[in-house]
Amino acid sequence: MALTGVLRAGFVQFRVLEMDEAINHYVDHIGLDLVEKADDGRVYLSGYDEFDRHSIVLREADAPGVDFMAFKVAGDADLDAFEKRITDFGLEVDQVAADEQPGVGRRIGFVLPSGHRIELYAEMARSDNGPITENPDVWRDDPRGMRALGFDHCLFYGPNVAEVCRFFTEALDFSLTEMVETPDGPIAVWLTSSTKTHEVAFVDHPDPGKFHHVSFVLESWNDVGHAADIVSRYDISRDVGPTRHGITRGQTIYFFDPSGNRNEVFCGGYTYFPDHPTRVWTPDQLGKGIFYYEKELNDRFLGVVT
Amino acid sequence: MSECFTVTVEESGAQFSCLDGERVLIAMEHQGLKHIPIGCRGGGCGTCRVRVTGGRYRTRKMSRAQVSEIDEQTGYALACRLIPESDLTLRLAGDGPGV
Ligand code: FES
Ligand SMILES: [Fe+2]
């Protein structure tokens, strides 16, 4: 296996104000599958093209925002190795027992200098409804709504972006694929553990622990257009797009869930390999970097977070 | 026919109409106005935070991180979750919770 250590963004747990509305949004409109409504109230969802049991965990609460994001590592021994490296880096590591979430093995967790909680895990049960492996059809049941294949990445807002970047590259062996660099250091970083353009990204912001968006991958630019039709048809709160990012080159549309958490559905972007150099943007070109066609940022995209 | 209320934004004196059952921010946006800043439209981000200074209203669930219990008792609300039950006057209060 050439890809070792951290494999990918595995799942994210975030908060919603009203669960029924959230399920309608994520299942009927985005097209995720409902895996389980657990006794403690959390709701588990997965994409039809994901092998693992779940990738989105919703929790009803007083305020929206993110609880934590978890990355899958290749094997259980990696958890011990990363625990040592994370501790050596200077972050405190705690343990989460197996089955705290159904079907998930033991996890280790820590809080980044940006205020976000991150976890690592090695084992998750397989999805009952995942991709077929023998003479595979393209899907089991017709995809619904926006036809999201699965969870792709998160973008977080918080302080100490340079330190967060150093942590991911030095302690977790991530690569920095793109960044926005000022004379005082990076103010935005895109980080990957795989050949995707990013598994997670961070943008500098004074308030810690903020959730900018959770992103779902679609098959094509036509699907992004279809997602835009669904946004209009069902009065989903649109933010920006359809458009394209200069950074990562993804084709995208942004909107909000019924609790105000931002969502992205996107397709495209280049393939990254670890020998590739980092692509660097200067702040004066940031408009084009974020929205390649409009070439200007809007205040809502910059400032609105949960 | 459903009732129609008038919402007045004190700072600018701007007025717009809001149908019975309609949320203030959504009514404003549909009329092409921008007197109250527009964010997530879902009660999560606090961008549209206002203080109601006159009139009766109800609200749908709002982020506690943006409107505390005391805020709520003293007229603060998120315009995207605010439903008038009479004519309303309000002031912009996008300065965070606990004010
Ligand atoms: S626009 Fe986000 S809380 Fe109203
Ligand atoms: Fe994204």
B98 pLDDT above the threshold of 50: no
* C-beta of B48 in contact with ligand 1 (< 6 A): yes
- DSSP one-letter string for A68-98: EEEEEESSHHHHHHHHHHHHHHT---EEE-T
Count Cβ neighbours within 10 Å for each residue of A158-181 and write b for 16 or more, e otherwise. bbbbbebbbbbeebbebbbbbbbb
Judge if the beta carbon of residue B78 lies within 6 A of ligand 1: yes
- pLDDT value for A303: 87
A119: helix, coil or strand? strand
Task: Tell me which residue has its CA closest to atom 3 in ligand 1.
Answer: B43
Chain segment B9-37, per-residue pLDDT in tens: 999 999 999 999 999 999 999 999 999 99
For A284, half-sphere exposure in the C-beta direction (CA atoms, 13 angstrom radius) is 1
Backbone φ and ψ for A56, nearest 5 degrees, come out as -130, 130
- pTM higher than the cut 0.90: yes
- Residue A167: what pLDDT? 98
pLDDT, tens only, A169-220: 999 999 999 999 999 999 999 999 999 999 999 999 999 999 999 999 999 9
Taking CB atoms and an 8 Å cut-off, how many pairs form between chains A and B? Answer: 59
The domain ranges of chain A are: 6-121, 150-303
Active site annotation includes A276: no
Going by their DSSP bridges, the two strands A200-204 and A185-192 should be labelled as antiparallel
Interface test with B, best of A237, A254, A301 (most B CBs within 10 A): A237
Domains of chain B: 4-92 (3.10.20.30)
B42 at interface of A, judged by CB pairs closer than 8 A: yes
Distance between CA atoms of residues A170 and A219, nearest Å: 33
Q: Which CATH architecture has domain A150-303?
A: Roll (3.10)
Pair of tokens at residue B60? 């749908």
In tens, the pLDDT along A220-274 reads 999 999 999 999 999 999 999 999 999 999 999 999 999 999 999 999 999 999 9
Interface test with B, best of A62, A210, A213, A239 (most B CBs within 10 A): A62
Residue A254 annotated in active site: yes
Closest CA–CA distance from residue A82 to any residue of chain B (Å): 34
**Per-residue pLDDT tens for A14-70?**
999 999 999 999 999 999 999 999 999 999 999 999 999 999 999 999 999 999 999
Band (B96; pLDDT cuts 50, 70, 90)? low
Cβ contact, residue pair B43, A17, below 8 Å: yes
ipTM: 0.94
pLDDT score recorded for residue A299: 84
Q: What pLDDT, on the 0 to 100 scale, is given for residue A297?
A: 85
Phi/psi of residue A304, nearest 5 degrees = -90, 120
Nearest to A304 among B45, B63, B65 (CB): B45
pLDDT score of A275 more than 90: yes
pLDDT digit string, tens, across residues A111-152: 999 999 999 999 999 999 999 999 999 999 999 999 999 999
More confident residue, B52 or A2: B52
Query: Taking all residues of chain A, what is their mean pLDDT, rounded to a whole number?
Result: 97
Partners of A17 on chain B (C-beta within 8 Å) are 42-44, 61-63
Same fold, A6-121 and A150-303: yes
> Thinking of the domain A6-121, which architecture would CATH place it in?
Roll (3.10)
Rounded average pLDDT over A90-119: 98
Looking from the CA of B50 toward its CB, the CA atoms found within 13 Å total 27
pLDDT at A190: 98
| Active-site residue flag, A181 | no
**Which pLDDT score is estimated for B99?**
36
Cβ pair A237:B42 closer than 8 A? yes
Q: Using DSSP, state whether A55 is helix, strand or coil.
A: coil
